[in-house]
Amino acid sequence: MLVRLDDGAPASLTIIRKPTQFFAQLRSYGFTEHSGASSPALADMSTGAFLDIVAGIFSVSRDGSFSYIVPDGVSRADWLAAMEEKAHDPRFGLMECDGEISHCMIEPLKR
């Protein structure tokens, strides 16, 4: 997903979330940072609270924050529901190359 750094620059945030752990990559012009955590509390955490945790961890490690980009005219609740739906969409995949993660979407075959 796209986020906006505190200096206004755009960045890409990719998150791999498992029931009790996550790994995330924040990437923008000139830097790539990784972070992760493991806790039983993550299993029952709502998507909104989870994304707030991820933002908080990067704000400490980067000494600067970022904000999630919620499209105009879309409520935060609807945006979070869309993020949850995408997280379970089997068409989205992740690839790793030289220590960086990139995501791709597999288009269904047209018959």
pLDDT of 103 strictly over 80: no
Model pTM score: 0.75
Residue 75: pLDDT above 90?
Answer: yes
Contacts of 108 (CB under 8 A, 6+ apart): 91
What is the average pLDDT across 1-28? 89
- Does the structure show a pLDDT above 70 at 1? yes
91 has pLDDT over 90: no
Q: Compute the half-sphere exposure of residue 18: CA atoms within 13 Å on the CB side of its CA.
A: 9
Q: What is each CA distance from 54 to 71, 80, 90, in whole angstroms? A: 20, 14, 23
Phi and psi at 91, nearest 5°, equal -75, -20
Structure tokens at 77: 């609740």
**Burial group, residue 24, by CB count within 10 angstroms (0-12, 13-18, 19+):** buried
